[in-house]
Structure 1
């Protein structure tokens, strides 16, 4: 869906406490989460404003966001154990 918010708290509602904890206590997680949110905001803005952009660029942004989401999820699962 265009313009959908993919914030980590929406993507992983069962891990809200771990997300908050890791953002404060794990600098690697915090850096990746910050980049993830930056990408999500950029992608959403491109979708909503319909700013012309090359498909390759748009797909690269979405792929980077997806890869970060996978890495962040691994942190969340590991922290929950």
Structure 2
């Protein structure tokens, strides 16, 4: 759905405590999460505002967001 939030708490509500703990204790996790949140906001803004961008651009941003989410999830499960 266009403009849907993909923040980690929305994606993994059962891991809320672990997300908060890792964000506070692990600088690498916090850095990746900040990057992920920024990308998510950028994609949502493009979708919601109808900003003209090439399909390839939005797809690349979504792929990057997905890769970051995969990395963050692996850290949460470790």
Q: Above 0.5 in TM-score?
A: yes
CA RMSD of aligned residues (A): 0.5
TM-score (norm 2): 0.97
The runs of at least 4 aligned residues of structure 1 exceeding 4 Å deviation read none
Q: Secondary structure at the match of 1:51?
A: coil
Match of 1:16 in 2: 16
Gaps of 5+ in 1: none
Q: After TM superposition, give the deviation of residue 55 of structure 1 in Å.
A: 1.0
> CA offset at residue 56 of structure 1?
1.2
Counterpart in 2 of 1:31? Answer: 31
What secondary structure, in the 3-state scheme, does the structure 2 residue paired with 1:53 have? coil
Uncovered stretches (5+) of structure 2, i.e. residues with no partner: none
Query: What is the TM-score with the length of structure 1 in the denominator?
Result: 0.94
- Once the two structures are superposed, residues 32-65 of structure 1 have per-residue CA deviations (whole angstroms, 9 ceiling, x without a partner) of 0000000000000000000000111111100000
